[in-house]
Amino acid sequence: MKSCGVSLASTTSFRDDGKKMAAGKESSECKDGSVSLTDEEKQLLGGLDSRLFGFIRLHEDGARTKTLLSKAVRYYESLILKAEGKVESDFFCQLGHFNLLLEDYPKALSAYQRYHNLQSDYWKNATFLYGLGLVYFYYNAFHWAIKAFQEVLYVDPSFCRAKEIHLRLGLMFKVNTDYESSLKHFRLALIDCNPCTLSSVEIQFHIAHLYETQVSV
């Protein structure tokens, strides 16, 4: 299994760099009220995308991360506004990632859809498809979430969040009463050694519940 190019350890770097970010705050706020990002902040943001969703605890000790993400959203939105929307499609993809990590799902969906409309080969971008799938999952739009997640696995079979995808596919197929597909994906999630938002015990519980449900049907 392939490990994520984005290391979970990178999320802790915000704590170490907090003082530096605070020191550069004044210089990053332009006189006209617009927002700019320091080179250091841009470097930190370069390691943040949809693959870290569920692994950054913004409501616990991630206050600095949340502050930086919020600032990045304002920065990207200001650039898009100034350019009257005529910016590289990647701007919208990144904006989608940042809003997703902030759990602002309406804005994340809007940005992802803009990227989808502008980027003809969007289907090659696994992190975009994964982020889009997570947003659809949040809205219980399971048909579209399943489609997006399956496209991720097709484009990149060794995607570092494959375990999370199998878990969520298992949950959605379970809700859709497609128990055979659900069991397949739960088992694939269980044998994957990569991190996931549920523990192995919790996944085993879902598998056991599937068997119980099938017996009672």
Q: What is the DSSP string of 182-215?
A: HHHHHHHHHH--S--SS-HHHHHHHHHHHHHHHH
Domain range summary for the chain, segments of one domain joined by +: 33-159, 161-217
Task: Tell me the pLDDT band of 1, cut-offs 50, 70 and 90.
Answer: low
Distance from C-alpha of 128 to C-alpha of 50, rounded to nearest angstrom: 7
pLDDT of residue 190: 96
Question: Regarding predicted confidence, which is higher, 217 or 113?
Answer: 113
Of the listed ranges 46-50, 63-67, 171-175, 178-182, the least confidently predicted one is 63-67
Provide the 10 A C-beta neighbour count for residue 58.
16
Average pLDDT over the chain reads 86
pLDDT of residue 60: 62
pLDDT of residue 173: 97
Cα dihedral sign, 78-83-84-88: negative
pLDDT of residue 108: 98
pLDDT of residue 29: 54
Beta bridge partners of 29: 35
Torsion, Cα 20 25 27 33, to 10 degrees, reads 160
Taking only the tens place, the pLDDT of each residue in 200-213 is 999 999 999 998 88
Mean pLDDT of 1-5: 62
For 55-63, the CB contacts below 8 A with 24+ separation are: 55/8, 55/11, 55/195, 55/197, 56/11, 56/101, 58/101, 58/102, 58/103, 61/15, 62/11, 62/14
pLDDT of residue 96: 98
Mean pLDDT of 194-199: 94
- Annotation: CATH topology of 33-159: 1.25.40
pLDDT of residue 56: 85
Distance from C-alpha of 88 to C-alpha of 114, rounded to nearest angstrom: 11
* Phi, psi for residue 35 in degrees, rounded to 5: -105, 140
Task: Tell me the pLDDT band of 156, cut-offs 50, 70 and 90.
Answer: very high
Taking only the tens place, the pLDDT of each residue in 21-64 is 444 444 455 555 578 899 999 999 998 999 999 988 776 657 88
Mean pLDDT of 65-79: 93
Q: List the structure tokens of 14.
A: 């915000």
Given a cut of 60, whether residue 78 has pLDDT beyond it is yes
Question: Regarding predicted confidence, which is higher, 23 or 170?
Answer: 170
pLDDT of residue 12: 47
